[in-house]
Structure 1
């Protein structure tokens, strides 16, 4: 277990790093992502921050960015209006960043929601709860690879906040859960998590500079958890949103979570070993910052080439979505 005090001390050391870290936050208009953004802006020296907000949340998110500009005027804060429940909107985000930056040091992704009300497909023909938690996240990684691999730090960071280490049964015959008999809000959550881990591992193997963390934060007192309570899901003793954001930033910046020869951000805290990666090359991390082991499932899928099948299917989805229009997205973690 990594203590909250250790997390806070590590995050404070961000101020000692070279200026100008470039970070993109997808899912920071509320919840864990918003808290992580606030902690990053508080501690980083002259950060170059990009965030994404769907049209309905632009005003409130711009108000947040205004407060961040006041608390840390050395940083730059750029808001990109896009709806990440649509895969095609991710390309818009990437194009906006590419016009201003030649690198990205940190990609932080936490957008997503559980579709308690049922499946309501976007105009791209996809379940938006799966799009926000899987398709759009992986599209962002794919499209940002040139900027990530050009990062100023030795090992650029990719953080996906969902359920790393909690992978479960994968419906290999219906990966997008098109059949109504296969879809449920829970099945879509497990499918997104499992496909996400397999695809992120594939990116890690092909891009050895990348540090990729798939984090399961457990219950956190976010607006998403409050909504879940209305549908009978009320886990006891949730982590505070403030702590969730602090721990998320620790995962994104501590050299405890780095590939061999990587690092370049906040040195690993004394007394903690470098975290262990999954067999596929990413960090699957539990709520309190320790590595988890789900090799019983993941190793067999890799052996059978399921990871490649998942990615091949995903590429076809991306191609089909490339020229689609806009739609409305949902809540964020």
Structure 2
């Protein structure tokens, strides 16, 4: 486990160790994990330049004011958009590309656990559109800007890394999977994220990619979710809060932001070319296994303690790669991009 003291010490070095005017893009930052990580970026970076994408102008106005209080020298630009639609993602990325020559951090946390089979106007399942397709589209479209950055080139996607499961290989959009199999759907989505990141990373050896599980953080995601199962989860969650012990692994929202800023800036997670980008750790524990099970590699799957996935996950992913499923996932993703965006 990476102790919170190490996380805080590393974050405190951002202003002195990394260049001023770092550019970060936060997708889904008008609440929850995205918001708290954006605020930590504003707090620690020197003259930060942040773009954040969401749907609530009211929340955005509040967040800009709070970021300005944390760091008056920063620039904070809100882009209002419904990023469940891929053609909207393309529009957002064009706005950023028109304004910037490079992006240092791409932080992706938009999503909901939608349990009523809603489909977008582009004929994608809403939950998968936000958690997988939209995020991967952001990475693909902003990858040239990430590759052009200096000092730090990092992508962090927040979902449920280390909770991978078998793929529904003949139903990648989970159209025919019972909604009661929520754990299996989650595992399927995790594996799809991993294989998409690995495919992109093959052509981007100077960029680090992280898929993480944030742990039990009260972000209010289930308050945005409809359906009987969602209501049940909301009720169970409230009971857990009432009866959990003080030493339970409940991560405060501020600590969650600190840990995700660490993921976005620490040299612990090296790109495939082994360049040490970011803040060096003042500890011997600097080697982290990548998604292929060996040290480094550029793609990292980490848990709430910021440690690599265990051997069971590594074996599962390896087996699916041997079966050609990694290529199948990427081909599917590209075909959906072509269908929707041309």
Contact 1:110–1:160 (CA under 8 A) maintained in structure 2: yes
Alpha-carbon distance between aligned partners in 1 of 2:29 and 2:176, rounded to the nearest angstrom: 32
Tell me: CA distance 1:125–1:188, structure 2 relative to 1, closer, same or farther (3 Å). Answer: farther
Alpha-carbon distance between aligned partners in 2 of 1:64 and 1:274, rounded to the nearest angstrom: 35
Structure 1 runs (4+) deviating above 6 angstroms are none
Q: How many pairs does the alignment contain?
A: 319
- Structure 2 counterpart SS, 1:230: helix
Corresponding residue of 1:303? 322
Contact 2:208–2:269 (CA under 8 A) maintained in structure 1: yes
- Structure 2 counterpart SS, 1:261: coil
Contact 1:256–1:269 (CA under 8 A) maintained in structure 2: no
Please tell me whether residue 156 in structure 1 is matched to residue 153 in structure 2.
yes
Deviation at 1:52, TM superposition (A): 0.2
Alpha-carbon distance between aligned partners in 2 of 1:91 and 1:147, rounded to the nearest angstrom: 14
- Structure 2 counterpart SS, 1:311: helix
Identify which range, 176-185 or 265-274, moves more after superposition.
176-185
Identify which range, 240-249 or 181-190, moves more after superposition.
181-190
CA deviation profile, 1:142-164 (whole Å, cap 9, x unmatched):
111111110112x5100011111
Please tell me whether residue 25 in structure 1 is matched to residue 26 in structure 2.
yes
Alpha-carbon distance between aligned partners in 1 of 2:21 and 2:83, rounded to the nearest angstrom: 26
Corresponding residue of 1:110? 109
Pick from 301, 304, 321: which aligns with 2:340? 321
User: What aligned pairs does 1:114-133 form with structure 2 within 5 A after superposition?
Assistant: 114-116=113-115, 118-133=116-131
Contact 1:130–1:189 (CA under 8 A) maintained in structure 2: no
User: What aligned pairs does 1:1-333 form with structure 2 within 5 A after superposition?
Assistant: 1-16=1-16, 17-54=18-55, 57-116=56-115, 118-153=116-151, 155-179=152-176, 181=178, 185-224=182-221, 229-233=233-237, 236=244, 237=248, 238-259=250-271, 260-279=273-292, 281=297, 282-293=299-310, 294-322=313-341
Alpha-carbon distance between aligned partners in 1 of 2:79 and 2:21, rounded to the nearest angstrom: 19
Alpha-carbon distance between aligned partners in 1 of 2:107 and 2:205, rounded to the nearest angstrom: 18
CA deviation profile, 1:280-307 (whole Å, cap 9, x unmatched):
7311111111111311110011122211
Tell me: CA distance 1:267–1:85, structure 2 relative to 1, closer, same or farther (3 Å). Answer: same
Alpha-carbon distance between aligned partners in 2 of 1:105 and 1:273, rounded to the nearest angstrom: 21
Deviation at 1:180, TM superposition (A): 5.8
Contact 1:47–1:75 (CA under 8 A) maintained in structure 2: yes
Where structure 2 has 5 or more consecutive residues not aligned to the other structure, the ranges are 225-229
Tell me: CA distance 1:98–1:205, structure 2 relative to 1, closer, same or farther (3 Å). Answer: same
- Structure 1 counterpart SS, 2:106: strand
Contact 1:31–1:223 (CA under 8 A) maintained in structure 2: yes
Alpha-carbon distance between aligned partners in 1 of 2:237 and 2:66, rounded to the nearest angstrom: 33
Corresponding residue of 1:331? none
- Structure 2 counterpart SS, 1:97: helix
Tell me: CA distance 1:233–1:189, structure 2 relative to 1, closer, same or farther (3 Å). Answer: farther
Deviation at 1:261, TM superposition (A): 3.2
Q: Which has the higher contact order (CA 8 A, sep 6+)?
A: 1
CA deviation profile, 1:76-130 (whole Å, cap 9, x unmatched):
11111111111221101100101100111100001111114x1111111111111
Alpha-carbon distance between aligned partners in 1 of 2:191 and 2:177, rounded to the nearest angstrom: 19
Tell me: CA distance 1:241–1:287, structure 2 relative to 1, closer, same or farther (3 Å). Answer: same
What is the TM-score of this pair, normalised by structure 1? Answer: 0.90
Deviation at 1:11, TM superposition (A): 0.8
Deviation at 1:225, TM superposition (A): 5.5
Contact 2:159–2:212 (CA under 8 A) maintained in structure 1: yes
Alpha-carbon distance between aligned partners in 2 of 1:36 and 1:161, rounded to the nearest angstrom: 11
- Structure 2 counterpart SS, 1:196: helix
What is the TM-score of this pair, normalised by structure 2? Answer: 0.88
